[in-house]
Each structure stands twice: as C-alpha cells, then as structure tokens.
Chain A
C-alpha cells in the first residue's frame, strides 16, 4: 500500500515539474517584454510603444481600419504610436534585440491583445530600422504610406497605398485604392482591382528581378522602370509605359478594352509582337520591319509624328487619329503587327482585345 502511494506521488511530481519550470521561465520573460515598452499618453490620447529590434527585423501588423504610416530610421528599434486607439502592444519573442515584432492594436482600452488581433485605429505610425521588412494587412478603409524600408508586403482592402524608397522588394495588393510606387528597387509586384497603379523610377537590383503591375478598372502608368522583365495588365483601364527598354528585356503588356501606349527613346531597338483581337488600331512612330506572315494593318513608320509632339496617355494625337481614319477598312476584325525595330534587342509583346496600341517616340 505504502509502495503504491509513493509511486503515485512520484508520478505526480514528475508530471508537474516541467510545467512549474516553464511557468517560472514565462514569469521571467514577461517583465523583460514590459521593460522594452514605454507608454506615453499625451494630450492627444496617443499611445506609444517601443521595442529594441534587429536591423533586419520583420515587422507585421493588421488593422481593421485606420491609416498606417511606416518610416525607416537609423535606430535599431521599433517605435509605434497609435492615435484614437484604446490599446497598443508590440509582441516580440524573448530575444533582445527582437528579430520579429508584431504590432497589435485595439479600439478597446486595456484589451487583452494577442498575436493575430486586428483592431481599428485613427493613425498608426511606426518607425522601424531601414533594413526592416514590413508586412501590413488592412481590412477596411485607410491609407498606407511606407518609406525607407528594405522589404514591403501589403494586403489592403480600401484606401490608397503610397510606397517610396523600398530597397529590396515590394508586393502590394489592394481591392480598391490607388497604388503609387516610386524610387525603389528590387522585384516589384503591384496590383489593385479598381484603383490606378503608378510606378516611377523603380530599378532592378538583380538580373532576374521582374516588375508586374495589374489592375481591372484603373490605369497603369509606368515610368523609368529598369527591370528586364516587365508585365502590365489592365481590363478596362489604359496602360502607359514611358522610358527606355532594357537590353535583352522582355516586355509584356495586355489590355482588354483599354488603350496601350509605349513612349520609347527614338533609338530603341526591339522586336515587336502586337495584336488587337477584335477591333482597335496599331499606330507606331517607329519604322517596323515587318516579319513574313504578319498581317499589319498599319504600314511601318506611318503615321509620321512631329519630333516634339504632345505625349501622354491616350487619346492619341490628332495626326494619328486622322491617319487611322484615312486607312482603308480592314477585312478582318483583328489587327496584327509582328516585326523588328533596329536590331531587335528587346522583346515587346502588346496585346489588346478591343483597345488600340500606340508606339511613340519620346
């Protein structure tokens, strides 16, 4: 009897020992996390939190509604400031400086915040190290501004997204709202359903970097993109690409009912595959050496265009329109032009279902 009682006691002791040690560890961890957080509630009822972080920290956050502003800085810390919010917390692993920081916010005061929470805020401002990678998710209205970070990934529902000076990679996806990307480098992918996409001065940082822009009902404007692989897609919106083509680059643009315009330097060299499936024109300022078998509806180099003519999004200049009108009617609904400009260094694919394609000299 005594033996059985002692065996049971021993088993109980063995079972409870690991839990007790884990509890003790957790109690040690919590004060360390709290010590890294500083709360400042000023007159505007904003809440601040701070955590020491690695220079390449991964910062993630989710807000159900509200504006998000992220800035890269020189300090190895994540500083968060939330206005019109009840609670704010930075969740970090028990490592200092933190390799990961999750910013959680709630509209309720003294809320028990945990990983994955997604609350509303007036404006959430973050200062992170320049080498940080930032993941932002929004489930409602609110604008997003991000500048001077290494990597960025955004999943936004409604609201504009403004991205500047991101050094390594950009991936922005939005349901409705305009997306603007400027002065950045690395592979980039930007897509929205009903907003416009504008990208200016975006550089490739490696040979395989690609650039992709997509919208359904908005316009796509690309200027100064140096990637060797560029893809642009729009359903009812227009696409404008303005700038030089990379040597050996691959360019693929596609619209369903919108117009597609390329404004290229006069000395550009590329092979062209342009097609309008149903109805629409192909108008080029460049002398295209037509390939055998290409059913070109527009003679190469026609219509000519004054050197300093107006340049911009469609509608095309008046001379181009009149040339299109004077052209004999097509027997087939579709239009196709395959050929080479110069020595054909880059490959340009332009396709539209019922929009027009324009190739203009800068």
Chain B
C-alpha cells in the first residue's frame, strides 16, 4: 500500500483543489486505507464545522469557478475578435480602393435607370435560385430517411427515449437489458448538443477488448451524468457527502474494472455479466443522486 497522505494533501483533496488524476488516485487510496479514510472523515467534520460557522459569509454571491472560466473564455474570445477586426482595418489599401469605386457611383439619369433594371433582374434571379433549392431539399431528406428506416433493425422499444447515436450503437444487440432505457435522467436528456459534443469516452474498459452488450448505454449515461455534475459544480457537494461519494465512486470503479475483466473473458456467463451491469447500474444511481444534489446546490447559489 502507498504511504498515507499528509493533512494538507487531504485538505486539498476535500476542497477539490487537486488535479483530476491526483483526485482519482487519492480517492482510490482512501477507499483502501482505513487510516486515511479516518483522517479524511475527521477533516471533513472540521470542514463541515467551519462551513457552518462561516455560512453567513458563504451566502454572499461570489463568482464560481465555472463562472470564472466562462468569463475568461468570453474575454479570450473578445480579444481574438478585436485582433481580427484590427487585421481587417489595418490595410489603408482597401480604403483607397473604396474611394476609387465611389467615383463610379456618379450616374446620369439614363444610366441610373439601366442600373436599376439590372439590379431588379439580379434580385429576381437570386429569389428564383433560393426557392428552387428549398423545394429540392426535402425530397432528398425524405429519401435518406426512408432508406435508413428500411435498413435499420427495429431495436427501439416503445416508450423509450433514446438518442439516435445510442440506437446506432446498440446495433443488433438483442441482449440489452430493458432497464437501460430508464437510467438516463430527465436532466441528462435535456442537455444541449454542444455539451454532448464535449463528452469524453469513459475509459473503464480493458484495452483491446470489445464493448459488451448493453455496456455502451451505461457508459453514455455515466459520461453525461459526470458532465452534469461538473457543470453544476462538484465543489457544491457538502464535504461530508463528498468524502463518501468519492469513496463509493472509487469502489464502484474498482468493481466495474474487476467484473468487466471476468465478464469479458466469459461473455456467456450470465452471472458474470450481470455483476458488471449491476455495478454500472449502481454507479449510475450514485451519480444521479449526486447530480441532482449538485444541480439543487447550483440553483441555490
């Protein structure tokens, strides 16, 4: 076993100040080391005491880490935009070119009438082009959808709310547990596409092994819940809850890793696979509770 952590390190872990990899390592160690777990619980009690004592001060609104990062991102974007606009206004050559063009805009009445006629013709042509494109588009889409519907197997049960990518991933997997359709919380379903695009794949599975039937859905749900917790601000979780949450999460990750190894070697052993799915389900339930709590706390901020 690794050496026990010092008090300062444990405090930083409690406060969520460690790097992600350090957080995971600390959580794993604390889950296995009773001495560190006791020390952490004691530190958590102290933190809870102080947070209660300083509750009036904490109630004053201060920028959160998430808000700060959004502000920084916005500033960076503005600076980039300013640089770009500077680049656009920098060249005096472009202004000179416009000045030369202004001479061409001095029309006689005859040439003005001719120019207006030309403009009207161009406008009509543009409208015709746009309208013709709009009438063609839907037919193509319909054809594509019909083709997709003919080729896709009927894997979606009635009443399930599934994302299109999830339907595709499940493929011909008939062994997918029916409960999977109910594990994605409403809050997770409401997330925007932008958030989903940022989702990183869960790296729990063994390298080189294939995903087991039903596993992908759990991993998707877990990733979205973790994202929800992160967006809500995981620092909003109370210290006493946070300690147990981290321990349980480490325990479940370890369980998933162990059961997955056995299930991957014996994919036909229903019990082995069932233990893996149970571990995933427990993790989903834990994350759902914490995500709900995190959102409630974020709303209260």
Is B262 in contact with A277, judged by CB distance below 8 angstroms?
Answer: yes
Fill in one digit per residue for B276-301: 1 if any A CB lies within 8 Å of its CB, else 0: 00110010011001100100100010
A235 to B48, CA, bound (A): 28
Is B289 in contact with A140, judged by CB distance below 8 angstroms?
Answer: no
Is B290 in contact with A175, judged by CB distance below 8 angstroms?
Answer: yes
When distances are taken between beta carbons in the complex, the residues of chain A under 8 Å from B238 are: 140-141, 158
Is A256 in contact with B240, judged by CB distance below 8 angstroms?
Answer: no
Fill in one digit per residue for A220-257: 1 if any B CB lies within 8 Å of its CB, else 0: 00000000000001011000000000000000001011
When distances are taken between beta carbons in the complex, the residues of chain B under 8 Å from A176 are: 240-241, 244-245
When distances are taken between beta carbons in the complex, the residues of chain A under 8 Å from B296 are: 139
Who on chain B is nearest to A120 by CB? B55
Fill in one digit per residue for A336-356: 1 if any B CB lies within 8 Å of its CB, else 0: 000000000000000101100
Is B278 in contact with A254, judged by CB distance below 8 angstroms?
Answer: yes
Q: How many residues of A contact B (CB 8 A)?
A: 24
Chain B CB within 10 A, most for which of A139, A193, A275: A193
Is B275 in contact with A256, judged by CB distance below 8 angstroms?
Answer: yes
Is B248 in contact with A194, judged by CB distance below 8 angstroms?
Answer: yes
Interface residues of B in 209-266 (CB under 8 A from A): 238, 240-241, 244-245, 247-248, 251-252, 255, 258-259, 262
Is A275 in contact with B271, judged by CB distance below 8 angstroms?
Answer: yes
Min distance, Cβ B301 to any Cβ of chain A, angstroms: 13
Is B285 in contact with A353, judged by CB distance below 8 angstroms?
Answer: no
On whether A194 and B262 interact (CB within 8 A), knowing A175-B290, A216-B282, A235-B255, the answer reads no
Interface membership of A264, Cβ < 8 A:
no
A217 to B286, CA, bound (A): 12
When distances are taken between beta carbons in the complex, the residues of chain A under 8 Å from B248 are: 193-194, 216-217
A166 to B39, CA, bound (A): 38
On whether A216 and B286 interact (CB within 8 A), knowing A235-B279, A277-B269, the answer reads yes
Who on chain A is nearest to B293 by CB? A157
A39 to B111, CA, bound (A): 89
Interface membership of B272, Cβ < 8 A:
yes
- Contacts between chains A and B (CB distance < 8 A), count: 74
Is B278 in contact with A257, judged by CB distance below 8 angstroms?
Answer: no
Fill in one digit per residue for A153-178: 1 if any B CB lies within 8 Å of its CB, else 0: 00001100000000000000001100
Min distance, Cβ B14 to any Cβ of chain A, angstroms: 15
Interface residues of B in 116-166 (CB under 8 A from A): none
When distances are taken between beta carbons in the complex, the residues of chain A under 8 Å from B258 are: 353-354
Fill in one digit per residue for B54-69: 1 if any A CB lies within 8 Å of its CB, else 0: 0000000000000000
When distances are taken between beta carbons in the complex, the residues of chain A under 8 Å from B285 are: 193
Is A157 in contact with B252, judged by CB distance below 8 angstroms?
Answer: no
A48 to B272, CA, bound (A): 55
Is A353 in contact with B251, judged by CB distance below 8 angstroms?
Answer: no
Interface membership of A278, Cβ < 8 A:
yes
Min distance, Cβ A248 to any Cβ of chain B, angstroms: 24
Min distance, Cβ A176 to any Cβ of chain B, angstroms: 4
When distances are taken between beta carbons in the complex, the residues of chain A under 8 Å from B282 are: 193, 216, 235
When distances are taken between beta carbons in the complex, the residues of chain A under 8 Å from B279 are: 235, 256
Min distance, Cβ B20 to any Cβ of chain A, angstroms: 22
Chain A CB within 10 A, most for which of B248, B252, B269, B272: B248
Who on chain B is nearest to A255 by CB? B275
When distances are taken between beta carbons in the complex, the residues of chain A under 8 Å from B274 are: 351
Min distance, Cβ A350 to any Cβ of chain B, angstroms: 11
Question: Pick the contact of B293 from A175, A194, A235, A275 — CB < 8 Å?
Answer: A175
Min distance, Cβ B193 to any Cβ of chain A, angstroms: 30
Q: List 30 contacting pairs A-B, 8 Å CB cutoff, sorted by A.
A: A64-B300, A140-B238, A141-B238, A157-B289, A157-B293, A158-B238, A175-B241, A175-B245, A176-B241, A176-B244, A193-B248, A193-B285, A193-B286, A216-B248, A216-B282, A216-B286, A235-B252, A235-B255, A235-B282, A236-B255, A256-B259, A256-B275, A256-B278, A275-B271, A277-B269, A278-B262, A353-B258, A353-B259, A353-B262, A353-B272
Closest CB pairs A-B (n = 6): A176-B244, A194-B244, A353-B275, A175-B289, A158-B241, A277-B272
